[in-house]
Chains A and B, each alone.
Chain A
């Protein structure tokens, strides 16, 4: 009977399992093989051993794409989480019409990684975009924000920060878990709101912060759509928005170098794994679990 129950369970899992093997694990194994080959998409792949990986050492555009990606991750994720936390705390105070605000703030998260929003971004930050028109009203001369190498990445950071809704919702759920008796006790002792936030809210919320941090870092490392659409597929101007994933795509599909692109994909996987691992190691020192 037990075995039959198991069988039934697996049968129910089968749609997901099929997806996992056909759409995720299968292609991953294929790309691991391709990472050691020279493969131009049209002819059969040729085994080249570690050549793709050694090539990455001297590829300056790849190094640049790593710089761009790291800057993006380390600037946009903390900013995004800080804003998400701030708004979650404000909304948690029982603002009137909270459900409405929560939905409104969550909306960008649903839209943020879409092509439509990226196109909108291109318009807003273009030389004759909305932003410059607003600036002109107050007498400030704007510029081509997305076509100037010194500001293009900044517009993408703003776009990512703007999608603070999903970590915010998770923060809100976390705030609800904190027993009110702590706050009551602290209030009786005369602790200020700021003191209560740093003494109670923040420590008890660290597991949630940790969760959001891990999730958003992984997410940011894999960003592709925004940069692709905003830069018109070029990662430009001057490679200033050339994310690692974008360069990978450019090598694979633009340059018929799928072997190299596969090697890059595995490299990125390792980088993300390392960062996630370090995150877990360091978490021991700052994440506080109540029980």
Chain B
């Protein structure tokens, strides 16, 4: 009997130990005296992860008492994971944030007002680029780079098809369709002209801006009309019917594929839509030197194609971080320190810190140099910045992908898809 009791006691103790280990302090502070550990999460390709790791090492060399633990993954899973960790009161200290979710988190008090984070200087930022992360008087995300929506073109595929690269300062949507269809025809089964527009909401936003509307209004409502979305989807159908884009199944597959597996990265399409700073990642993935082209316009004037400088991503700090000072030091390093500037270069977009931008520009690798030059070139043509998505706006990417798929498979007519798209987006706004 005593032996049994001893066994039972052992069983209980071990269970309790196991349980307490589960609930143990996560990312706990202060292991040795004064040493802190920060958790830092980002999404992105392998190329980004390598650069970011080097930047972390450089920071740790300057701050031997701060350890940074990186948490990274693909775009698609990133937001689910972030939501889960924030809900569990276990958010990373430093968060790579996107415009789409900035308000979502900030409005609910999950992000720190960076103006109140002491060690973070923002004096080298232009007001416009700072403004993108600012609302209700607080700064909740610090611009980590500037980019713009663009067409990514693969000159090797153009060459294989025997089609000349177009003049992107004058092309219209009809030109775009015609050129892409010609590419498909001349590639005779080996590839297609372009990926689809409508795989994310940025294309629709520019389409709307070209027609005097905008996806979001400054007061956080939907600003695009059913008529304009219908026209947008009619154009998507034109691309399908002229065979400018691959079969609907391939398009649908691309929407959830990781960057390295998309048709653009595997050299199956000559063009696709993306962000200017992705030039680097797509070039690496495809092994080709891709080129950035301006988005086509309705009128054939690049100045009216609706483009704008977007904060490609932001640095945010969790409001519940126990290491806010160290986190601010780290964000300051990422944003303002020439050492990190020289490592990160323009992979996350052209640096928003003007001093770093000037210092880094001559050192850029071909792809980053090209995207930096593109950003500079289009500077004179840009319109007003685009209003940031309201709370609930983060859902719009998945919603537009779903309706684009419905249209491509012929399951919904453009006008029906447009109406349902708007109803659903409106339903998500809070």
Contacts and interface: CB of A to CB of B under 8 A. Distances in A.
Q: Are A and B interaction partners?
A: yes
B405 A232 contact: no
Given A12-B11, A149-B405, A127 B256 contact: no
A258 B110 CA distance: 16
A40 B11 CA distance: 39
A33 interface: no
A149 B411 CA distance: 10
A203 interface: no
Contact of B4 (A8, A14, A41, A256): A8
Contact of A144 (B8, B110, B249): B249
A234 B401 contact: yes
Given A147-B253, A236-B402, 5 more contacts: A14-B15, A18-B19, A127-B249, A127-B253, A144-B250
B8 A11 contact: yes
Contacts of B19: 18, 22
A165 B253 CA distance: 30
- The binding surface of chain B is classed by DSSP as helix
B428 A255 contact: yes
Nearest to A9: B8
Contacts of A42: 86-87, 105, 108-110
Interface string B1-30: 100110111011011000100000000000
Nearest to B89: A42
Nearest to A127: B250
B339 interface: no
A144 B247 contact: yes
Contact of B257 (A149, A232, A256, A258): A232
- The binding surface of chain A is classed by DSSP as loop
A58 B7 CA distance: 56
19 contacts: A4-B1, A11-B8, A15-B15, A41-B83, A42-B110, A43-B109, A144-B247, A147-B250, A147-B251, A148-B248, A231-B256, A232-B257, A233-B76, A233-B77, A233-B256, A234-B402, A254-B79, A254-B80, A258-B87
B213 interface: no
Interface string B220-258: 000000000000000000000000000111111101110
Given A148-B248, A254-B79, A238 B402 contact: yes
Nearest to A142: B249
A144 B253 contact: yes
A9 to B, nearest CB: 9
Interface in A1-30: 4, 8, 11-12, 14-15, 18, 22
B236 to A, nearest CB: 14
Nearest to B77: A233
Given A144-B250, A147-B249, A147-B250, A236 B257 contact: no
B201 interface: no
Interface of A: 4, 8, 11-12, 14-15, 18, 22, 40-43, 126-127, 143-144, 146-149, 231-234, 236-239, 249, 253-256, 258
A253 B428 contact: no
Nearest to B424: A61
B84 interface: yes
A238 B406 contact: yes
A255 B424 CA distance: 13
B124 interface: no
B104 interface: yes
Nearest to A254: B80
B373 interface: no
Contacts of B4: 8
A97 to B, nearest CB: 40
Interface in B386-414: 392, 395, 398, 401-402, 405-406, 409, 411
A84 B7 CA distance: 42
Contact of B83 (A11, A147, A236, A254): A254
- 4 closest A-B pairs by CB: A144-B249, A232-B256, A11-B8, A41-B87
A253 B80 contact: yes
A84 B5 CA distance: 46
Interface in B108-134: 108-110
Nearest to A22: B19
Given A15-B11, A232-B76, A254-B395, A146 B406 contact: no
Nearest to B18: A15
A43 B87 CA distance: 9
B14 to A, nearest CB: 8
B256 A8 contact: no
